Amino acid sequence: MTNKKVTSNKIGSLAAKTLTDPSSSKTAKELAGSALSQMNKGNQTGSYMEDKASKVLQSNKYSEETKSLAASVLSQSNKKR
């Protein structure tokens, strides 16, 4: 089943800011890139990013912004997985 959700403008803006911020972590930038790739295109999150986003949400070491990106990415995953 294809997930038709797309990244919101709010998360898209956060993702763009994250990608241009030199202090953003590699994980945050990966999540931001995934979120941006799903804006207006209907792309689905791959299994690698699903796993990474899930781990971010379960960890206490990431910022609320990074967790917001992770939640967006996870919400656009393939529902069969």
Query: Taking residues 22-39, what's their average pLDDT?
Result: 94
Q: Can you give the pTM of this predicted structure? A: 0.85
- Residue 29: how many CB atoms within 10 A of its CB? 17
22 pLDDT above the threshold of 70: yes
The confidence score (pLDDT) of residue 34 equals 93
The CA-based angle 34-45-6, given to 5 degrees, is 75
Give the mean pLDDT of the chain: 89
